[in-house]
Structure 1
């Protein structure tokens, strides 16, 4: 079946009252335009409303993307930063809404940065800037941003990202640990929560997929695995200064 038909069917289902994930014309038009199959190695399955795994990251389901962009609500020509770009699909949706040259994206995992660049280029969005950065630090060189989308959860909005918002800017992110909600954060740090969600944590340096470790013995592997199963991740620790 033609990909455009599959995209229309996908968005029609997201607009239906049973899901109601997409409500605005702007998000509907953008998601109908982006060739999702360029970002997922499954031409037909790409338009199913389910997540995928790729290089250790989760590719968000279309319904989740719709929810995020309804809250982000970027206007034409807004400057947008996507944190945790993954394979690049959400950055492509932003590019459809504001223009490719207004979209900047970062990911802590270098392999995903290369993947996102290739996918965005293949899909026709090669003006989107993608760089390898720690998500909590943002991309200050191109700040301020009218909109910031964070595709990973944290206990508190990283202060660096809030500081990179324009005066009327808006940051959307999964907020919380085990009990998460999508949150809209303003430039003053005010938070509004909008429905539950479940996202992976915002990684700190050393936790990214594909990070290099020194060689260990089999005994050390077992000890490290047992220790890792018990320890809290960076996003759960209150002693980390997220500011």
Structure 2
């Protein structure tokens, strides 16, 4: 009987050591993974973004801080910091990191702004904006994506991001006017409701076109809108009411 108790005790002791070792290995692997992602994120900023002329320190710091892999579906996480858009489901994508940085810099945010985003998608662009702006209001027409992005942003502590599921064509009039507006889906023409919701002195950046698209920067001054074509781009089309007009 005494030997059985001793053997049972030794078995439990060894099992406990085994579980501790597994836990330690899991923690070490998780730390290695996080360290690898941090290194990839730095390379992304230094090699993909800074080398192409993005200089705004606020933007660079935001891109360095926001963990892009958290906004990418699990199978694509090894490619999260590649210089390319990635699928996020529902025929939508997370934008190429450089484009996120380029569009954010074009808004010339200094902190304290209220920003409207049309096309939440994964939530990554909203997180980058939230690192700089005071408040971010973001609209996503695909309900599962809207919920998923909202959950991730809340989990990451972005209390200054307000998500809504709806048609971005109409903007968010009850929260207007906005200091800046960023659109991450391409309409065939610029939605007038968004122009109306842009604050005096505000800036809006939006991809415009169907198959061939141009990134357009709008600035409102003295009630007048000036437009500047920036670079050719390729975004998913804006859906909803804009397609009916």
Q: TM-score, normalised by structure 2?
A: 0.78
Alignment match of 1:12 (pick from 40, 43, 46): 46
**Unaligned segments of structure 1, at least 5 residues:** 206-233
Task: Give secondary structure in 1 for the equivalent of 2:225.
Answer: coil
Task: Give secondary structure in 1 for the equivalent of 2:131.
Answer: helix
Correspondence for 1:190? 226
Correspondence for 1:220? none
Change in Cα spacing, 1:155 to 1:53, as seen in structure 2 (3 Å) is same
Within 5 Å, give how 1:1-243 maps onto structure 2.
1=33, 2=35, 3-17=37-51, 20=52, 22-40=54-72, 41=74, 42-56=76-90, 57-99=92-134, 102-187=135-220, 188-205=224-241, 235=243, 240=245
Change in Cα spacing, 1:151 to 1:15, as seen in structure 2 (3 Å) is closer
- 1:82 and 1:16 map into 2 onto residues whose CA distance is 24
> Contact between 1:14 and 1:22, CA under 8 Å: does it hold in 2?
no
Tell me which protein shows more helix as a share of its residues: 2
C-alpha deviation, 1:73, in angstroms: 2.0
Q: Over aligned residue pairs, what C-alpha RMSD do you find?
A: 1.7
> Contact between 1:171 and 1:185, CA under 8 Å: does it hold in 2?
yes
Residues 83-107 of structure 1: CA distance to partner in whole angstroms, max 9, x if unpaired? Answer: 00101000000000114xx111001
Correspondence for 1:209? none
- 2:174 and 2:232 map into 1 onto residues whose CA distance is 33
For the pair shown, the structure with the greater C-alpha radius of gyration is 2
- 1:10 and 1:165 map into 2 onto residues whose CA distance is 32
Runs of 4+ in 1 over 3 A off after TM superposition: none
**Unaligned segments of structure 2, at least 5 residues:** 1-32
Q: How many matched pairs?
A: 205
- 1:21 and 1:202 map into 2 onto residues whose CA distance is 28
